[in-house]
Structure 1
Amino acid sequence: MIRAELSKLASLPATWTTLAWTLAANVLLTFVIAVGDTPVAYSRAGFIVFGVLATCSEYTGGQIRTTLTVMPRRVRQLAAKHAALAVVTLPAALAVALSGPSITLAVLGTPVDFWQVAEVTAYLTLLTLVSAAVGVLLRHTLAGVGLLLGCLFVAAPFLHEYLPDDMVTLVVSTPVLLIVAAVFHRRRDA
């Protein structure tokens, strides 16, 4: 099942376009801003779009019916989809997480903090999985992207003092949203 989901994900042109533009934007922002992890803060948008696109693309054209006919166990199919998404996202997140520190190392001589690189990689991967879960719940790309970008860039700065750290929030919310998405995916019509 994971191989089939990887094949579907790899065959989507939006997968490679979104990841390439996200990496390019991160590199460009690193050159322009060259301060801390600010470029990664904006690159989160690319991972949100990628996660939502990965799950909503099948609903747009009705391919979800074919998928569910071939793989009728919906929870297993969704778990395979999220596992395939994590497999593709991890190296992309690592590339984004390494690009900024590598450029600042080359330009400014600032050493690379590998613990921070690992944390950013995990953060971007979890953010992509949360985005995929929201995509499953909403089944509409624009609604999912709009909701998540609004939460990330509009609501979160206002609520930042009341919420725990971003990583803690993601670690707690990711499994909850994945379970809720699986329950809804199992009970709804295609």
Structure 2
Amino acid sequence: MSISSSKKITKILGAELDKLVSLPLIWLTLIGTFILNLVLAAAFTSAGLQGAAGTQSILNIGLASMGYLQAGFIILGISATCSEYTSGQIRTTLTVIPWRGFQLSAKHLALAVITIPAAFIIAASGILYTFMMMRDTAVGFEIDTMIETLVGATGYLTLTTLLSAAIGALLRRTTPALVMLLGYYFIISPLSRDFLPNYFPDTAGYYMYMPASNDEINVLTPMQGTGILMLWTLIFIKVAIIFYRQRDA
């Protein structure tokens, strides 16, 4: 790759990162998700403390909020790509950066740069709170297992955010994208999980972070779950780029 191409990509990435960092909705979503996670962690921990002592898993309870937590990252991804259409800034963006494929790819990469540390901190906060409250009564865990679980949870939330951003880029409207994704993750998928295979994004992603019980073997390994969710994400990003390059702003 030529030096000029490298500089061009770096500048585009920097511009996309600056736009996301300066967008108030991004930080409001992350702060709201962090607070919601702590509230849910406190609720699940309280329920765990009322259960049978010695039978509770800190990791399972600490990650029990993930099913709800993903809503914040879905909103984050959709906001990142739809906000420019809502504000009309997309026309300025495409005037300054006419290379649409590079621009949308850079937006997803910039979003990942923001999401990875945020997802790690938020997921870790739930486990840390549960550990502090239940360290004397709950079943312990090995540090390696905790690290693998946190990496898996971070990866799941990040890939879910990028997938949501791709769908937001396809639909270009916040409300339809939210209705579609939240409807799938919180209504369609839970109701049809017993009938559908384990290869849909949220179902496969579940195995990225949820440790198996002593008497239970997960259907997919963490690596398999990661590969399947990553494939879904890359497919949607590719489709979003194709449509993005072929249509007007």
Shorter-normalised TM-score: what interval? over 0.9
Q: Which letter maps to 1:99? A: S
> Does the CA-based 8 Å contact 1:55-1:135 persist in structure 2?
yes
Q: Compute the displacement of 1:172 (Å).
A: 2.2
The range that moved more, 152-161 or 170-179, is: 152-161
Residues 132-165 of structure 1 deviation map (CA, whole Å, 9 limit, x = unaligned): 0000000000111111000001111123232314
Gap runs ≥5 in structure 1: none
* 1:47 pairs with 2:73: yes
- Which residue number corresponds to residue 153 of structure 2? 120
Paired positions, count = 190
- The TM-score normalised by the length of structure 2 is 0.74
Contact 1:15 1:54 in 2 (8 A): yes
- Partner letter of residue 75 of structure 2? V
Counting only pairs closer than 5 Å after superposition, residues 146-161 of structure 1 correspond to structure 2 as 146-161=179-194
Overall identity of the aligned pairs, in %: 45
Q: What does residue 82 of structure 1 align with?
A: 108
Does residue 95 of the first structure (1) align with residue 129 of the second (2)? no
Matching of residue 166 in structure 1 with residue 225 in structure 2: no
- In structure 2, stretches of 5+ residues that fail to align are 1-11, 46-60, 206-224
Stretch deviating more after TM superposition (31-40 or 143-152): 31-40
Distance in 2, matches of 1:54 and 1:180, equals 17
Per the alignment, residue 25 of structure 1 pairs with 36
Q: Using the alignment, how far apart are the partners of 2:193 and 2:101 within structure 1?
A: 34
- The CA distance in 1 between the partners of 2:98 and 2:197, in whole Å, is 39
The superposition leaves residues 51-110 of structure 1 with CA deviations (integer Å, 9 ceiling, x where unpaired) of 000000000121101000100000000011000000000011001110111111111014
- TM-score (normalised: structure 1): 0.96
Shift of residue 39, structure 1, vs aligned partner? 1.1
- Indicate yes or no: 2:21 matched with 1:10: yes
- Cα RMSD of the aligned pairs, angstroms, is 1.2
Computing the radius of gyration from Cα coordinates, the structure with the larger value is: 2
Match runs of 1:129-148 below 5 Å:
129-148=162-181
Q: CA deviation at 1:36?
A: 4.3
- Cα pair distance change 1:68/1:5, threshold 3 Å: same
- Specify the code of the residue in structure 2 equivalent to 1:44: Q
